[in-house]
Structure 1
Amino acid sequence: MNPRTRRIADLLRECLTSGVAAPFLCCLSLSALAFAASCLTLHLTFFKFPPFQSLFSASHHLLYLPKPSNTTTPHHAPPPSNLWHEMSDEELLRKATTTTASCGGTAEERKKVAFMFLTRGRMPLAPLWQRFFHGHDSRLFSVYVHAPPEFTEEPPRGSVFFQRRIPSKPVQWGESSMVDAERRLLANALLDPSNCRFVLLSDSCIPLFNFSAAYGYLAGSHLSFVSSFDDPGSAGRGRYNRRMRPTVSLAEWRKGSQWFAVHRELAVGIVSDRRYYPVFREHCRPPCYADEHYIPTLVSKLFPARNANRSVTWVDWSGGGPHPAVYRRRDVSEGLLRRMRDGSTMSRCSYNERPTSICFLFARKFDASALEPLMLMAPALLGF
């Protein structure tokens, strides 16, 4: 007999000896107490945070994402810390390389997810992200923003983006400066040893699920999420430069989405790389785009067994051309968001070696005009 059951039995014994009219009322009251205690135990076991502990159905092997949990702590968040520093990129990368690559600790020391935003300045979808993060324990996430150096506008003090800009440099689309920015974001985030997962996002990205679900999915995965594949066409192998040999061969050349979510070990591997990135910087220039090839190739070479080989960010390239589809106000609908959420366009998707219909946590590209309908649909459809 466990302690809880023993205690209920003792209370029942005491109650029954207290008077003639009491037995029925005692049994009724204590039965309700036992039922409530059992429900509480079930709640703590099944819904214990992080939510990824009960993501799968044993019968269907489908991924289930929880509704917003009651583990939010609106008044717990400490004052934001300023991320600004005077280190050069070389000093920053060197310091980040020396940080631990492991994320140990107990269940109480929860893994933190670093949300890294690569932006062009203002964040038109910031109100949606503000609602996404609102009320959640600041020990579970951190925010980093890479913006153009000339952009000095600071969001309001109450914003989750307040004082979260890192020292940045200009970024040119299609150039290696894009990868420099990604490595800069990773290096700054690695300086916080509690960051265990690192997600690259843009100012046109939106969350497709509430924070609890996204956190559980990322923190509970055994693998990183980096799209990496061998494209035999002109936009894949056709971009390979033979001057990369022997460091990178054509057989090792990979392509993939720029938008990744990686474990700490892989993040350290990216910022500490001194062998492959110089080759990409020198020999992968337009029409070769380093942000589509460097990390996919590096991960394929060094961490193939630690990668799910897919991105968790929805991007629509069906229109062809160098840029993906842009969703504006008129394009936003419940049907669109549901298609993004349920993975209906994926032929197959797995999570921790089990099939799932949940393949994407984020989506892009949404412009500023999409904010209003997104804010209206978010509570009922996105869960926040």
Structure 2
Amino acid sequence: MANALLDFSNERFVLLSESCIPVYNFPTVYEYLINSEHSFVESYDDDSSQGRGRYNRHMAPHIKLYQWRKGSEWFELNRQLAVIMVADYKYYALFRKYCKPSCYPDEHYIPTYLNMFHGSLNANRSLTWVDWSRGGPHPARYGAPSITAEFIQAIRNNGTFCMYNSRPTSICFLFARKFAPNALESLLNLASTVMDF
């Protein structure tokens, strides 16, 4: 993020992995992000062993248990929040020192920090659709046989409603994961018809 901030034309910062895909074309994604009043970081209180159970009491008094949050590591920040996150030393140092396995900073640092100081600037949701319906520690993974126009449309129109600039919308996810390398050719075959690329 610090390197991306060096380019002053960068206004929005999205973290994706090699297994993520866009589910809309670039103009749609760009307009959605550039016109958003909020950033998109999932941040919630999880009282299980995967949430509050990862809190280290040595983080107090700077970070208290009730402030501890969990969220997806796939985030989007506007430039203002990206600068704030990169400039933070105090809280990041606490995470470096005390957030050790099974605590994962990528799931806790940004959600906790934003919750503590900038919650009103956060939509408190991820823009990346993930299928956790199969259970377990990892989401479902989709390969070539799963890739159809209907599947991409189902991700777009999955019945979810969310808030965008204080208004309800059905466009909640701009990206999706988790896609296997063998899905690439099938995805490219849909690029011109479904994705408008």
TM-score normalised to structure 2 length: 0.95
Residue correspondence of structure 1 range 110-189 to structure 2 within 5 A:
186-189=1-4
CA contact (8 A) 1:226 1:262 kept: yes
Per the TM alignment, residue 378 of structure 1 is displaced from its structure 2 partner at its CA by: 2.1
* Helix, strand or coil at the partner of 2:11: strand
Per the TM alignment, residue 338 of structure 1 is displaced from its structure 2 partner at its CA by: 1.3
Q: Residue 30 of structure 2 is aligned with which of 215, 221, 227?
A: 215
Per the TM alignment, residue 193 of structure 1 is displaced from its structure 2 partner at its CA by: 1.3
Per the TM alignment, residue 343 of structure 1 is displaced from its structure 2 partner at its CA by: 4.0
Q: Residue 78 of structure 2 is aligned with which of 243, 263, 267?
A: 263
What does residue 132 of structure 1 align with?
none
What does residue 322 of structure 1 align with?
137
* Helix, strand or coil at the partner of 2:12: strand
What does residue 361 of structure 1 align with?
174
Equivalent AA in structure 2 for residue 371 of structure 1:
L
Q: Residue 370 of structure 1 is aligned with which of 183, 186, 192?
A: 183
> Aligned partners of 1:343 and 1:226: how far apart in 2?
20
> Aligned partners of 1:291 and 1:343: how far apart in 2?
27
Q: 1:289 to 1:321 in 2, by over 3 A?
A: farther
> Aligned partners of 1:373 and 1:250: how far apart in 2?
45
> Aligned partners of 1:201 and 1:262: how far apart in 2?
12
Per the TM alignment, residue 287 of structure 1 is displaced from its structure 2 partner at its CA by: 1.4
- Per-residue CA distance 1:306-341 (angstroms, 9 max, x = gap): 010011111222223322221111122233211211
Residue correspondence of structure 1 range 23-102 to structure 2 within 5 A:
none
Equivalent AA in structure 1 for residue 75 of structure 2:
F
> Aligned partners of 1:316 and 1:310: how far apart in 2?
15
> Aligned partners of 2:131 and 2:97: how far apart in 1?
30
Q: Residue 104 of structure 2 is aligned with which of 266, 279, 289?
A: 289
Matched, 1:203 2:23: no
* Helix, strand or coil at the partner of 2:116: helix
Equivalent AA in structure 2 for residue 209 of structure 1:
Y
Can you give the 5+ residue segments of structure 2 that lack an aligned partner in the other structure? none
> Aligned partners of 2:164 and 2:195: how far apart in 1?
20
CA contact (8 A) 1:223 1:352 kept: yes
Can you give the 5+ residue segments of structure 1 that lack an aligned partner in the other structure? 1-185
CA contact (8 A) 1:256 1:292 kept: yes
> Aligned partners of 1:317 and 1:288: how far apart in 2?
20
Q: Residue 247 of structure 1 is aligned with which of 62, 87, 104?
A: 62
What does residue 332 of structure 1 align with?
147
Equivalent AA in structure 2 for residue 341 of structure 1:
R
State the aligned residue count: 197
Equivalent AA in structure 1 for residue 178 of structure 2:
K
Moved over 3 A (4+): none
Matched, 1:227 2:37: no
CA contact (8 A) 1:313 1:363 kept: yes
> Aligned partners of 2:134 and 2:96: how far apart in 1?
29
Q: 1:269 to 1:343 in 2, by over 3 A?
A: farther
What does residue 146 of structure 1 align with?
none
Equivalent AA in structure 2 for residue 361 of structure 1:
L
What does residue 192 of structure 1 align with?
7
Equivalent AA in structure 2 for residue 356 of structure 1:
T
- Per-residue CA distance 1:52-85 (angstroms, 9 max, x = gap): xxxxxxxxxxxxxxxxxxxxxxxxxxxxxxxxxx
Task: Indicate the RMSD between aligned Cα atoms, in angstroms.
Answer: 1.2
> Aligned partners of 2:184 and 2:2: how far apart in 1?
31
What does residue 379 of structure 1 align with?
192
Equivalent AA in structure 2 for residue 249 of structure 1:
K
Q: Structure 1 vs Structure 2: percent identity of aligned residues?
A: 56
> Aligned partners of 1:267 and 1:383: how far apart in 2?
30
Per the TM alignment, residue 205 of structure 1 is displaced from its structure 2 partner at its CA by: 1.1
Per the TM alignment, residue 279 of structure 1 is displaced from its structure 2 partner at its CA by: 0.9
Q: 1:373 to 1:260 in 2, by over 3 A?
A: same
